[in-house]
Amino acid sequence: MNAPVDLDHARIAATTPLDRLDPSNPAIFRDDAWQPYFARLRREAPVHYTAESMFGPFWSVSTYKEIMQCELAHKVLSSDSLHGGITIRDRDKSLRLPMFIAMDPPQHDEQRKVVQPIVAPANLAKLEHMIRERAISILEGLPRNETFNWVDRVSIELTVSMLATLFDFPQEERRKLSHWSDCATALPMPGGLIENEEQREAVFAEMLGAFMKLWNERVNAEPRPDLISMLAHGEATRNMTPREFMGNLILLIVGGNDTTRNSISGGVLFLNENPAEYDKLRANPALIETMVPEIIRYQTPLAHMRRTATADFEIGGKTIRAGDKVIMWYISGNRDEAAIDQPDRFIIDRPRPRGHLSFGFGIHRCVGNRLAELQLKILWEEILKRFPKIEVVGPAERTYSAFVHGITNLPVRIPG
């Protein structure tokens, strides 16, 4: 299923009867062919119902304004894992993990407040030096005049060593973090990273074991500014069940891993696709400040978030019924010309670049948004000091997923 089959996306997007259009097919994202599907939805049906898909029936919300409306409607649009959580794919009920991204108030609010201080301005300032050191050592180790996979050598390496620091997790074992994150979001399929849910559970159990060890060490020690110590001592989290603890860990690992990784990869790709922007950046590195949010918009590392209606809800002239699944397609809202000027262009000096949907809005807005930006900013500062050009020398390969909008392989070469 994962082997690329040639689908004529432009034709499918244009000619499929509207009520049968299914923007959730992961092949659309793997083939980088999502644009015409969503352009049609935005034009013809900003709130649209797909009756049949591999994820069952669902509503698509594809325009910026309507997505914002959903973000503010958390009282009727639930994130709770009991209703299916925050991704289009329902998991087997017994396997659902409790984590605050997939909770509603008041529990969500209590747990979020415990984690929030890790990204307070003072803490970010402390992290800056450490992120820069890691970025420098990773960049200094890159080969010249040789093709390599940017995703593996830079994007994964940097985000994972960052995460290890946030958790104060042993640096030597940091690649375990990305493995766990990949397993948490992988679609089970034959020959895939995980083949079934039992395998996923086994990976989670291994992860829980490793983290329980760290928890036990830290719960009896003085509080420290790492995430595990904060969870172990926080009033709202210290009595979490092992399953809740695991849910929150996965949240922080996936939240801070895949997304940042794919933004790091996306940036290199977009600058290569837009040489005039690359020239602008080289001439004026101060543009990194506005380029970083633009990269995050243009990539949209999470293509959607899902909600489930708990009461009937009117939006865009349609009535969503209690129990229905609602998909907010950020990837589409970020290309809505009613909200963003020339949305299909990558422009590194937009006047107000943070108005994009990639971090969500409302009570679940990304906890790590400024931390993610900080990592990208530092990385690009250090890249520009060293390499006038990173050349993409082959086609990018992309993740087979309607949720994680990712790049798995990006062959590059650094001349020099």
Reference 149, options 392, 363, 416; nearest CA is 392
Comparing CB distances to ligand HEM, the nearer of 13 and 156 is 156
- Under rule CB under 6 A, which residues in 259-288 are in contact with ligand HEM? 259-260, 263
Are the CB atoms for 336 and 63 separated by under 8 Å?
A: yes
Q: Determine how many CB atoms are found less than 10 A away from the CB of residue 1.
A: 11
Choose among ligand HEM, other proteins, none what residue 355 binds, the Cβ cut-off being 5 to 8 Å by kind: other proteins
- Under rule CB under 8 A, which residues in 41-80 are in contact with other proteins? 68, 71-72
According to DSSP, the residues that pair with 50 across neighbouring strands are 58
Residue burial 170-198, b: 16+ Cβ < 10 Å; e: rest: eeeebebbbebbbbbbbbeeeeeebeeee
**Is 113 one of the binding residues for other proteins (CB under 8 A)?**
yes
User: Distance between CA 317 and CA 312 in Å, rounded?
Assistant: 13
Q: Which of 47, 67, 154, 252 binds ligand HEM (CB under 6 A)?
A: 252
| The dihedral formed by the CA atoms of 261, 136, 412 and 7, expressed in degrees to the nearest 10 | 0
Q: Which of 50, 60, 62, 79 binds ligand HEM (CB under 6 A)?
A: 79
Q: Which of 132, 280, 354, 389 binds other proteins (CB under 8 A)?
A: 354
In degrees, to the nearest 5, what angle opens at C-alpha 168 toward C-alphas 112 and 180?
75
Comparing CB distances to ligand HEM, the nearer of 255 and 343 is 255
According to DSSP, the residues that pair with 304 across neighbouring strands are 329
Comparing CB distances to other proteins, the nearer of 69 and 155 is 69
**Is 247 one of the binding residues for ligand HEM (CB under 6 A)?**
no
According to DSSP, the residues that pair with 411 across neighbouring strands are 149
Helix (H, G, I), strand (E, B) or coil at 308: strand
Which x/- pattern, by CB under 6 A, does the window 305-324 give for ligand HEM? x-------------------
Q: Which of 35, 290, 310, 369 binds other proteins (CB under 8 A)?
A: 369
Choose among ligand HEM, other proteins, none what residue 302 binds, the Cβ cut-off being 5 to 8 Å by kind: ligand HEM
Comparing CB distances to other proteins, the nearer of 362 and 415 is 362
Reference 85, options 238, 204, 234, 247; nearest CA is 247
**Residues at the site binding other proteins, with contacts judged by CB under 8 A:** 68, 71-72, 105, 109, 112-113, 116-117, 119-122, 124, 352, 354-355, 361-363, 365, 369-370
**Residues at the site binding ligand HEM, with contacts judged by CB under 6 A:** 79, 86, 100-101, 112, 115, 251-252, 255-256, 259-260, 263, 296, 301-302, 305, 358-360, 364, 366-368, 371-372
